[in-house]
Structure 1
Amino acid sequence: MSADDQAFLDVLSSLPHDIQRYSGNVADFIDQHVEKIADSIRDTLAASPWVPESIRPRPPPPPMPILALPTSTYEKVQDWFSRHKILTGVVILVTGVVVYRTYRSSTLGRKTRRARRARNGGRLDVVVIAGSPTLPLTRSLSLDLERKGFIVFVVSTSPEDEVMVHNLSRPDIRPLTIDITDPPSAGSSIERFAQYLQAPHAAVPRTKPHHLTLKAVILIPSLNYQTSPIATIPPSAFADLFNTHLLQPILTIQAFLPLLTARLSPSTEKSVPKVIVFTPSIISSINPPFHAPEATVCSALSAFTEVLTAELRPLAIPVTHIQLGTFDFAGFTPATGGLRSTRQVSGNHGYDLSQPGGGLLPAAEGAETLSWPDSARHVYGKNFVTQSSSAISAGRIRGMRGSSLRDLHNAVFDVIDGSNKNGTIRVGLGASVYGFVGRWVPRGLVAWMMGIRKVDELATWRQSSSHGSPRSRPSTGGGSDDDDDDDDDGEGGGESDEGHGSFVAVPPEQVHGDAHVWKEA
């Protein structure tokens, strides 16, 4: 068969398909036009008066009107949910969290919390609180743990601390004298304490003795911090702050590490001592202006706790970091006995423990900025006063009291008995909220909410009129007429110093020009 014949056969084979397609298109076109023509003729005949009524076609019935029925409340709510899906999801999530936390808190609140007892009724568990007895937090926690059946030892570094512990008038709250600054003496004190734990004890005579078990070491650093601009804090104040608020807690834990890593209890006892570290968390979470001491120390303690946790984890010694919010210390204000006052005695801003919230609420500002140099007051004064009086300053929420101490006591007991194994626990009003704010909210927005505004006008730098005064050089023990003259000038500078205070790290004659320098507290 030739190629021409094959092409002719292909054309013939394709004709049925083309004819079917073309005929379908023609039929559809005719149907559409015939239907339109029929409708047009029907309408014309129905409207013509000369057509008899008997054969006149009837027009199609008019369309039925759509009636709007009133919707029920359920349908309205369902329609609102369908139009606000994101908001509905957020509301459901928040409601679920609130319900869960409420149920959990109510369940934990009904839990019976009591320490173990020996068969003869004696106390078995020992807790060491390494915190100043002047702090209401130390006092309240000691009384609560003693009431729950623990033998509580409070670390005392001075005879005054021992007197404060004895003033609590509880036989099972005892001082544990340790001189942290003297490592050999501290080691001897820890060794005597270990021998006490290993010795058999009897609650009453002629009963079977039992051994004591160290359950936890609780570290409570100082909660009082200076509040002022960094420019007005002298280096000596930073040195004292790091020694008392940072170095002392670290040395305390270091002194107890040999006791924690040694097996003191009998071989049948599987309980291991726990380490609990308290730190204020509100300021260190948001790092607001004028809180450099607290933010620095608390951040350093948090980092130290993380390292301590990593080192003790292989030894199966749990470390729990309890981040504190604001508490109501109305029943534990230092007003009696040796707990007269723990507010900072310096002229800088501290924490007034006589107010609700105790050591975690700032005291009234008063004339705080009046003791600053003129330049510092001009640059920082307005923002400092505004920030200190804001509704969220220093973690306090205006019009709200702190959380109940019962929440903190329950959290500590749950950590000691092992029911709460979380590495980090936030307790107290504002602890969780400020942690969220510090992690997700921009710092600029937080500062703006606290009243911090831009300072447009800065003070002009003023240089001193004289240089080389002997007061700015080390004394050689000698003297001359020139030195006497300079001393006379220095007395004039002393009068100026009396107006501005004592400055460090710069030549004193610069004070004449109201230099931007530190000021001693």
Structure 2
Amino acid sequence: MTDAQHFFDYARRQFNEIADEVEHHFDLVTNQLREWMPADVRMYRAAPAPPKRLPPPTTLQVVQRWMSRHKALTAACLTFLLTGSVGALVYVNNKQYRRKRRAKKSASGARTDVVVIAGAVASPLTNALYMDLERRGFVVYVVTNTPDQEHYIRTQNRVDLLPLQLNLVDPYAAQEQLARFHSLLAREHLAFDEAEPHKLNFVGMIIVPDTQSTLARIDEISSEEWSDALNAKVLNTIATTQLFLPSITEHKAKILILTPSVTPSLKPPAHGIESTVYGALEGFTASLAAELKESGVYLSHFKLGNIDIPAITARQHWQGSAGARLKATPVRRLQDSVFDALVSRRPSRTWHVGRGSLAYDFIGNWMPASAVAWMMGVVRKSAPPVVEDMHGSEIESLTWEKIDQEGV
């Protein structure tokens, strides 16, 4: 054994002896501390850590637990809420439907609100509108273009239902005729002697363009028929509106445009003129509404569905026509909507009135063309032939009924 190896062995033995002595010393110190420490402290330190507390339940969890414990009471409460909500909705609708709608009057009891209606004078729809507005207390002026139309209005024997002659062929004559209407609105009126003078208030103009036409394919319609239809149904409506725009802007009157929307929304075959006229009027209405909004004038577009007009229904029964299986919307609902739009401070931009108006508007705008074509194919197979000598409004009503019967 060399000296170096002997030295390393001696150093290892010394290190092991020192480590043993240090370990023995720490054991003695630990035993002395354990004996000196109280018993309760030792038990506390030896006890395990308490479990973590769960967070408090949320409101939703509390409600769910309560509902699971009281299922019968929960079902009763839900039934009560459902029936109560339906009952409240029916009550509000009935109250809204039955409430009296009357135009304002002056302190002397005279009528002050003026409404102008432009449309087919003898149309059952137009007739139902101006007769109802006159009964509600408006001074109603009906735009007439011929002496026969003026005579027809005068034969109604209503004091506040008056014709307003307007010659659209001669613009200068039309301006003179409207000048008399402007002066009527500007000057003061007396209901009777010694009564307080009052002025007339132009509240709105109702436009009911005739969009109906005979059924024909595009290749069967001559250029003269296209020209006559666009002139009579589109250009006359635009010209009439332009003539009244100064008065409408001055008095902040409402503009209401009423058009049937079921057939134009679906755009079926053989309705090219009707779809074109409706599209032109819709574009004109949108542009006019955007322009008048800057002046504080509101324009409302009424998209009409299947409406039960008593004059048409009575004539159909007299002719022996079969009634619709789906009940149409009463014309009273349209009359109430027109009144609400006239007196509202901010009327809605679009009004859907009549069965099928909203549904077919959605179908025509969002459903695929193939689905709409299939639907119209079903209608064509079962639709009765259209009588050619009927008025436009009667054809319109029958079209609505056919689509409602087969499409809904």
- TM-score by length of structure 2 reads 0.68
Matched, 1:443 2:369: yes
Report 1:15-414 matches (<5 A). 102=90, 105-263=93-251, 272-330=252-310, 332-333=311-312, 354-355=315-316, 398-414=324-340
Query: What fraction of aligned residue pairs are identical, expressed as a percent?
Result: 35
Query: Using a 3 Å threshold, how does the CA distance of structure 1 residues 415 and 196 change in structure 2: closer, same or farther?
Result: same
AA aligned opposite 1:437? I
Inter-partner Cα distance in structure 2 for 1:98 and 1:294? 40
What are the Cα deviations for residues 334-380 of structure 1, in whole angstroms up to 9, with x where unaligned? xxxxxxxxxxxxxxxxxx99438xxxxxx99xxxxxxxxxxxxxxxx
What are the Cα deviations for residues 151-184 of structure 1, in whole angstroms up to 9, with x where unaligned? 0000000000001101111110000001112211
Contact 1:165 1:173 in 2 (8 A): yes
Residue 149 of structure 1, CA deviation: 0.5
Inter-partner Cα distance in structure 1 for 2:335 and 2:258? 12
Inter-partner Cα distance in structure 2 for 1:246 and 1:97? 45
Unaligned stretches of 5+ residues in structure 2 = 1-70, 76-81, 380-408
Matched, 1:434 2:395: no
- TM-score by length of structure 1 reads 0.54
Inter-partner Cα distance in structure 1 for 2:229 and 2:143? 20
AA aligned opposite 1:323? K
Contact 2:264 2:275 in 1 (8 A): yes
Contact 2:211 2:278 in 1 (8 A): no
Unaligned stretches of 5+ residues in structure 1 = 1-73, 79-92, 264-271, 334-351, 357-362, 365-395, 454-521
Superposed CA RMSD: 3.1
Partner of 1:370: none
Aligned to 1:451, the other structure's residue is in SS state helix
Inter-partner Cα distance in structure 1 for 2:173 and 2:220? 37
Q: 1 or 2, which has the higher helix percentage?
A: 2
Contact 1:219 1:276 in 2 (8 A): yes
Aligned to 1:304, the other structure's residue is in SS state helix
Query: Using a 3 Å threshold, how does the CA distance of structure 1 residues 278 and 96 change in structure 2: closer, same or farther?
Result: farther
What are the Cα deviations for residues 270-322 of structure 1, in whole angstroms up to 9, with x where unaligned? xx211111111111211111111111101110110010001100100111111
Residue 440 of structure 1, CA deviation: 2.4
Partner of 1:89: none
Inter-partner Cα distance in structure 2 for 1:412 and 1:304? 20
AA aligned opposite 1:109? Y
AA aligned opposite 1:355? Q
Inter-partner Cα distance in structure 2 for 1:315 and 1:147? 31
Aligned to 1:262, the other structure's residue is in SS state helix
Contact 1:132 1:155 in 2 (8 A): no
Contact 1:276 1:322 in 2 (8 A): yes
Aligned to 1:216, the other structure's residue is in SS state strand
What are the Cα deviations for residues 63-117 of structure 1, in whole angstroms up to 9, with x where unaligned? xxxxxxxxxxx89xx9xxxxxxxxxxxxxx9x99988874553232132211011
Inter-partner Cα distance in structure 1 for 2:258 and 2:304? 7
Contact 1:190 1:259 in 2 (8 A): no
